[in-house]
Structure 1
């Protein structure tokens, strides 16, 4: 053993060791930056999977909100309340597919034809007003309109086409909703002890904000869908001339209500296009219906559910939607608003922690 120590001393320092403190500091800093860049690259590489996990968290918050609401009247175990919420949602989807599935499919098949007809009539009207529009321009506009309509009508189909993603979101969301504290403790265990209380408080605020946000979206979707359907049906009852595809327009209006700003515009354009296919009077009526739906949702439903607790700037939400939609498609568009709300809560909590730390430092430095 003594001979080995002597040999080590004769060999000198390892070429991997850094004796200079300055070089050691720079090497440590370079290592930190390398790790940060590597984590960013890894996050980009697995961004789709992270978005699926976040979608599961959003779904879990919806189930959690329903279970908490049932807990006010049913003093039973949480797994049973979660089961009731899931059974109710599944029953509604089964009823919708059984009683309205065939009708909606027929109406969805008719929608592109109506859009094409409206584009042709718009072309003829513009020519009559003296605008020189070539037939190629008409085909281009019709093609763009068809692409837009196809994107909207295939939104639900696109989700169903990504069956694996949907199944993963549902399964992970159900597991988290059944026992959320288990996963909170698992994440907190990986944090330093001094930061665990802050994590629990941040998670609690995020959960509260997410439940409020999702509750508002669900109520808004239901109100807009039902109100749109009855208003469109009312026109047929009063005038005897029914508006085409009321069920499809109501469902699209309800689904698109989940997406702030963009969803309202898209559903309104579709409703007005279909309305004008039945004449000017019907088209004007659909415009009135659209504004009634948006005003009821904006001035009655939203204040009642206190959605302003999220307090997100509309321009910021729209920018986030555009970015997420380009990066991740329809799933990113649906999750843009919840993700922005969670980022806002995290930044607010970080600001509170910094203020608390500064107050603690100033208190220690105070001689008094």
Structure 2
């Protein structure tokens, strides 16, 4: 019995008396908690990505409502309704008014791509490359695993529509009352962390709105210019290629490569001159978008390293399919904003501590 212990019978049999052992036990418990959280996040990755997709969609709606508020001083709910109606009207226009032409082109598109790919393989074989269909399939499977994931994801039309519907519903709810969800998360944090979290949430929302605005501008520019340039030369399926190019522009790097390959394959159906023209259109559009549109937007939002974005796209595309590929860019942007916020917060805390020590030294010297 320890004579210095005032309550010798108050300890539980599981109490660790040694302070060093208690420290190690707490540290082990922290690591176990981290492992459990990581495992839970991996298990719930698809659901978490859908929720994050809803946040991205909410940022698009919120950004549109804010822009509309500069010219239409009405209630926020009305502006959000207008933005949603305009978005649904655009989708309706694509489906109903341009649907017949695009549907016809879409039906012919796979056969055309297959025929041009067969011609390309035959040309390579005639020049001594000896690439058989089995070897091509194996090569494509090894070098384009992310594209394979994309193809399989697109094949699940029902699942894709269900995911898109959930993302849209979550985004609309968040866009209607974003402060409600911010306060709900802040309420679960310690008092000292709430102000910092609200500041971080504001920075993330601002960066995400700007990032999505730049993405939509790029999509609109690439889609319209591609359609107009291809239609001017008489390239088949110009409208379909314009829409695909615009949609794929939402996925940087990977989307541009896929749309370029599709344009060249379609251009080959009209001969070498048309194929070269399609290559020229692709280069002009991507060069202008990469060196003019993107830098202008990046100056006012999160500037991301292309290699980092491409690496995350490959990882997320292989792990989570099309949704991971599409959301890799905004997710990397949010991680960067969070790290920058933490760095600034640490600098402010260090400055406050330094100022506090200086004030204490001054008071001690004065006394």
Query: Take 1:16 and 1:124, find their aligned partners in 2: how far apart are those partners?
Result: 75
The residue that corresponds to 1:189 in the other structure is 187
Give the C-alpha shift of residue 101 in structure 1.
2.4
SS at match of 2:73: coil
Relative to the length of structure 2, the TM-score reads 0.88
Contact 2:153/2:322 (<8 A) preserved: yes
Query: Take 2:54 and 2:151, find their aligned partners in 1: how far apart are those partners?
Result: 24
Query: Take 2:71 and 2:199, find their aligned partners in 1: how far apart are those partners?
Result: 27
The residue that corresponds to 2:136 in the other structure is 141
Contact 1:159/1:166 (<8 A) preserved: no
Deviations 1:264-303 (A, max 9, x none): 1110011011101110111111011111111221233234
SS at match of 1:17: coil
Contact 2:266/2:275 (<8 A) preserved: yes
Query: Take 1:128 and 1:280, find their aligned partners in 2: how far apart are those partners?
Result: 17
Relative to the length of structure 1, the TM-score reads 0.88
The residue that corresponds to 2:4 in the other structure is none
Runs of 4+ in 1 over 6 A off after TM superposition: 9-12, 142-155
**Aligned in 2, Cα 1:256/1:342: closer, same or farther, shift over 3 Å?**
same
Query: Take 1:209 and 1:356, find their aligned partners in 2: how far apart are those partners?
Result: 21
* 1:287 corresponds to which of 279, 282, 292: 279
The residue that corresponds to 1:4 in the other structure is none
SS at match of 1:19: coil
**Aligned in 2, Cα 1:177/1:97: closer, same or farther, shift over 3 Å?**
same
The residue that corresponds to 1:357 in the other structure is 349
Give the C-alpha shift of residue 24 in structure 1.
2.6
Query: Take 1:10 and 1:303, find their aligned partners in 2: how far apart are those partners?
Result: 70
SS at match of 2:98: helix
Unaligned runs of 5+ in 2: 1-6, 363-367
**Larger relative contact order, structure 1 or 2 (CA cutoff 8 Å, min sep 6):** 2
* 2:66 corresponds to which of 44, 49, 68: 68
Unaligned runs of 5+ in 1: 1-8, 237-242
Give the C-alpha shift of residue 167 in structure 1.
1.8
The residue that corresponds to 1:301 in the other structure is 293
